[in-house]
Amino acid sequence: MTAQVMAFYIDESFLSSPLERALDMIAVLYRELAENADSLLLATSAEDIRRAKREGKTALLLSFEGGEPLGRNVKLLGSGPCPTRVRRYI
């Protein structure tokens, strides 16, 4: 497998704090990436997927089902693979 979409879903039971739940889930993803760097990599571009294929790794793409974690603040999208606000949870 060259790529896998990691679609995060925020269950109804977490809708009182969807951003916190999403950050927790992202932190787990980053730990998995660190612990399995020999076989996984985070893909933020098509080139990352091509690199995963060349290196025999699986590229993981982050996706959300729904926009609840963002609330009304699209600035939370940031840029780059690991915005500062996520790093503090890792």
Domain that holds residue 7: 3-87
Phi, psi of 7 (to 5 degrees): -90, 110
**Mean pLDDT for the chain?**
85
Global confidence as pTM: 0.75
CB-based contact 62:40 (threshold 8 Å): no
**pLDDT (0 to 100) of residue 72:** 81
Number of domains in the chain: 1
Query: Tens of pLDDT along 6-44?
Result: 999 999 999 999 999 999 999 999 999 999 999 999 998
Tokens of 16: 């009182």
60 C-beta neighbours (distance < 10 Å), count: 21
What per-residue confidence (pLDDT) applies to 88?
Answer: 43
Q: Residue range 50-63: average pLDDT?
A: 95
Q: Where are the alpha helices (DSSP H) in 1-90?
A: 18-35, 46-55, 84-87
Quick one: which of 34, 81, 37 has its CA closest to 57?
37
